[in-house]
Amino acid sequence: MLSGIIIGIVVVALVFDFIAGFHDTANAIATAVYTKALTPDKAILLAACMNLIGAMVSEKVAMTISSGIVSVSIAQHVILAALLGAATWNLITWWLAIPSSSSHALIGSLIGATIVFSHSAGNIIWSGVIMKVIIPLFTSPLIGFLIGFLVMKLVFNLCANWSQNKVNRTFLKAQIFSSALVAYSHGSNDAQKTMGIITLSLISGGLLDASSGVPLWVKIACAIAMALGTFTGGKRIMKTMGGGVTKLEPSSGFVAQTASALVIEAMTQLGIPVSTTQVITTSIMGAGSAKRVSSVKWGIARNILFAWIVTLPLSMLLGGCYCWVIDLFV
């Protein structure tokens, strides 16, 4: 039977998933909205539907979160503290219109809360953190940049003899497909982090065996929560993602979305929780650089990079602070 603390964790986890939905909506649809391939309302509806489908497909990333980052011997309130810390960071960066990583916020907050609770780093599975968090933190955005750059160069060569109107018409239609693909990959990777947290709570509470996988009701609840969050929109960050980094055209928007979707989906199949925000941003930068390096607004890119770097340590601090406060009452 679910205890009060586990019910609280499930509720907060679903709220976090909802926040992640509207926080990360811009990831999938900003380029399509900016290039006018889709209206904001249609883009948000498409993203919500594809998020829902993507979240139901796999559970590899969820199992990484539930059993590959920290020991399952941690107390229930540590998980609650991790969720609160990650949600706080998401709201702060959303308000500042900074595209940050919900994934790294959640993982960092979980690590920080665990360390404060146990007064040591002994319950952290550092090999998992290094291989599936730290290394992908740097490699996945670089891969996104490289693929965006190379595919954009390929598009330039293939469409060299096309008129600009033909290029725009073709890729405006193609962006509907690429937007759906990014939203699907976003759901298949990002929604699973919350599934993993709830599963971790059920395992540590003795209600689920560590080898049982993610319960179906957890998948459905998290998928719906993220889809509803996505449907509420994310226009503050959309402005930064859509036109703040570089000027986008239909062709570069399609390339950026397709490149990022390929990277995210590949990482999902490896069970690696990556930042959709990071991969899409660097894919946009790569596509923009293929036209000319000066077209990328590197000042804004530096600010985004700074947010990526500080997300993990600051979310660790937030998770640790919430755990310390909750410890006073538990």
Query: Do 84 and 314 meet the contact criterion of CB atoms below 8 Å apart?
Result: no
- Which of 28-42, 286-300, 316-330 reaches the highest mean pLDDT? 316-330
What is the model's pLDDT at position 66? 75
Which residues does 306 contact at the CB level (< 8 Å), separation at least 6? none
Query: Do 9 and 205 meet the contact criterion of CB atoms below 8 Å apart?
Result: no
Distances (CA, A) of 1 to 11, 194, 197, 202: 16, 21, 18, 10
Rounded to whole angstroms, the Cα distance separating 296 from 293 reads 6
What is the model's pLDDT at position 132? 83
pTM for the complete prediction? 0.82
Q: Could you tell me the pLDDT band of residue 223, with boundaries at 50, 70 and 90? A: confident
| pLDDT at residue 27 greater than cutoff 70 | no
| pLDDT at residue 241 greater than cutoff 60 | no
Which residues does 105 contact at the CB level (< 8 Å), separation at least 6? 85, 86, 89, 90, 311, 315
| pLDDT at residue 316 greater than cutoff 90 | yes
Amino acid at 271: G
- Which of 66-75, 155-164, 195-204 reaches the highest mean pLDDT? 155-164
Q: What is the mean pLDDT of residues 259-271?
A: 91
Amino acid at 145: F
The 3 state secondary structure assigned to the chain is CCCHHHHHHHHHHHHHHHHHHHHHHHHHHHHHHHCCCCCHHHHHHHHHHHHHHHHCCCCHHHHHHHHCCECCCCCHHHHHHHHHHHHHHHHHHHHCCCCCCHHHHHHHHHHHHHHHHHCCCCCECHHHHHHHHHHHHHHHHHHHHHHHHHHHHHHHHHCCCCCHHHHHHHHHHHHHHHHHHHHHHHHHHHHHHHHHHHHHHHHHCCCCCCCCCCCHHHHHHHHHHHHHHHHHCCHHHHHHHHHHCECCCHHHHHHHHHHHHHHHHHHHHCCCCCCHHHHHHHHHHHHHHHHCHHHECHHHHHHHHHHHHHHHHHHHHHHHHHHHHHHCCC
What is the model's pLDDT at position 315? 94
